[in-house]
């Protein structure tokens, strides 16, 4: 049996809400994945793209990433990855640098072999250039009993898809048992042409719309947990990520800021990112008054989203 962690969309370097603490959170979530990998003694960590939030990570972000990769290297756990849309450069990639210093392998059409699994990679390709793809891969080596493809993009049959998964699988010169994806921050799994296609989700909340807990996939090839194709996919939660507190308020016609502030006071917000969403009717509200209350109560970040259609007049 071969066990690998499938992670992605770590977005290291993202200073969300202009908060240095949130920037550190994204690196620490990646560190937790690596520590979990060591504790579970997995055979590899596979990253499905967007290791970094953009193509110009800061020096501190690079140093922190190298430190995490050394944790894996010290435990003899290979780090295998592809390039996502956020971090892709026109020339050499940051992943190439990590490969040059022996801390990573960049996946491509020639597989990396982990035990008895051949692991291939397909970097993110813009939609305008996908018609040029021929999905030609080196043959699966004889010693490999399974094959997996790692990709990055919005693949069918999932939401907002613009990449034809069936075409890719039909035209690929290798028959894959699993396709391990990044880009969609929500974890999802589907069977496409008898191949498991799965998103691992992101390791930190990159937007307020990402309410579900963050985590990664544990993939087993062979073993008792595997299905008829020899693949088992399970979720592992990241329990130490920054808490997000979502305060949803539906206002009646005669209600205003007092009701919203009351709802904020009903939550523990210490060191949390607080997202207040106001819907319904009610009087106009100045977001700053609500956000300041949350900050005064110890929140790291506070944002109010007013989804009502109201006149410009606001209530202090």
Percent of the chain with pLDDT over 70: 96
Judge contact between 203 and 237, C-beta under 8 A: no
Q: Which of 237, 267, 292 is the last residue of a domain?
A: 237
Task: Answer yes or no: do 101 and 229 share one domain.
Answer: yes
Question: Is 316 within the bounds of a domain?
Answer: no
For residue 52, give the nearest of 80, 1, 17, 94 by alpha carbon. 94
How large is the greatest C-alpha to C-alpha distance in the chain, in angstroms? 72
Q: Give the model's confidence band at 108: pLDDT under 50 very low, under 70 low, under 90 confident, else very high.
A: very high
Question: Is 154 within the bounds of a domain?
Answer: yes
Question: Is 179 within the bounds of a domain?
Answer: yes
Task: Answer yes or no: do 185 and 296 share one domain.
Answer: no
Task: Answer yes or no: do 196 and 295 share one domain.
Answer: no
- CA count, 13 A, side-chain hemisphere, 54: 9
Task: Answer yes or no: do 154 and 292 share one domain.
Answer: no
Question: Is 311 within the bounds of a domain?
Answer: no
Dihedral sign, Cα of residue 94, residue 18, residue 60, residue 70: negative
Q: Is 11 a catalytic residue?
A: no
Task: Answer yes or no: do 186 and 273 share one domain.
Answer: no
Q: Which of 221, 237, 253 is the last residue of a domain?
A: 237
pLDDT of residue 233: 97
Tell me the two tokens of residue 166.
């069936």
Q: Write down the catalytic residue from 11, 47, 86, 146.
A: 86
pTM above 0.75, yes or no: yes
State whether residue 171 is helix, strand or coil: helix
Question: Is 314 within the bounds of a domain?
Answer: no
Count structural domains, the chain. Answer: 2
Question: Is 60 within the bounds of a domain?
Answer: yes
Question: Is 315 within the bounds of a domain?
Answer: no
Q: Which of 237, 264, 288 is the last residue of a domain?
A: 237
Percent of the chain with pLDDT over 90: 91
Identify the CATH number of the domain in which residue 114 sits: 3.60.21.10
Task: Answer yes or no: do 301 and 223 share one domain.
Answer: no
Question: Is 98 within the bounds of a domain?
Answer: yes
Task: Answer yes or no: do 92 and 223 share one domain.
Answer: yes
- CA count, 13 A, side-chain hemisphere, 117: 26
Task: Answer yes or no: do 207 and 298 share one domain.
Answer: no
Model pLDDT for residues 32-78, shown as the tens digit of each residue = 999 999 999 999 999 999 999 999 999 999 999 999 999 999 999 99
Q: Give the model's confidence band at 133: pLDDT under 50 very low, under 70 low, under 90 confident, else very high.
A: very high
Model pLDDT for residues 302-311, shown as the tens digit of each residue = 999 999 987 6
Task: Answer yes or no: do 153 and 289 share one domain.
Answer: no
Task: Answer yes or no: do 59 and 140 share one domain.
Answer: yes
pLDDT of residue 315: 52
Enclosing domain of residue 34: 2-237
Task: Answer yes or no: do 215 and 252 share one domain.
Answer: no
Tell me the two tokens of residue 174.
């290798």
User: In the predicted model, what is the mean pLDDT of residues 226-252?
Assistant: 91
With a cut of 90, say whether residue 228 has pLDDT above it. Answer: no
CA terminus-to-terminus distance, the chain: 63
Task: Answer yes or no: do 187 and 277 share one domain.
Answer: no
């Amino acid at each position: 049996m071969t066990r690998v962690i499938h992670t992605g969309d770590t977005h290291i370097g993202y200073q969300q809400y202009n908060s240095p603490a949130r920037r550190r959170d994204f690196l620490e979530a990646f560190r937790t994945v690596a520590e979990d990998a060591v504790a579970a003694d997995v055979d590899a960590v596979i990253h499905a793209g967007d290791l970094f939030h953009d193509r110009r990570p800061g020096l501190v972000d690079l140093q922190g990433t190298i430190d995490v990769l050394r944790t894996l290297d010290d435990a003899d756990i290979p780090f295998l990855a592809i390039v996502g849309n956020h971090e892709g450069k026109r020339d050499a990639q940051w992943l190439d640098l990590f490969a040059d210093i022996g801390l990573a392998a960049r996946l491509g059409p020639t597989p990396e072999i982990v035990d008895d699994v051949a692991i291939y990679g397909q970097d993110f390709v813009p939609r305008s250039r996908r018609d040029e793809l021929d999905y030609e891969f080196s043959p699966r080596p004889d010693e490999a009993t399974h094959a997996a493809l790692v990709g990055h993009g919005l693949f069918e049959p999932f939401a907002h898809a613009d990449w034809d998964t069936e075409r890719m699988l039909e035209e690929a010169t290798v028959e894959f048992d699993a396709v391990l994806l990044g880009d969609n921050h929500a974890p999802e799994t589907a069977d496409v042409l008898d191949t498991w296609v799965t998103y691992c989700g992101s390791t930190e909340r990159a937007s307020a719309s990402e309410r579900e807990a963050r985590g990664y996939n544990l993939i087993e090839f062979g073993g008792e947990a595997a299905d008829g194709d020899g693949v088992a996919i399970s979720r592992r939660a990241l329990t130490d990520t920054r808490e997000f507190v979502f305060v949803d308020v539906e206002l009646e016609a005669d209600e205003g800021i007092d009701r919203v502030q009351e709802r904020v006071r009903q939550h523990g917000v210490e060191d949390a990112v607080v997202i207040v969403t106001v819907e319904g009717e009610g009087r106009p509200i100045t977001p700053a008054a609500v956000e300041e209350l949350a900050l005064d109560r110890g929140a790291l970040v506070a944002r109010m989203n007013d989804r009502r259609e109201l006149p410009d007049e606001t209530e202090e």
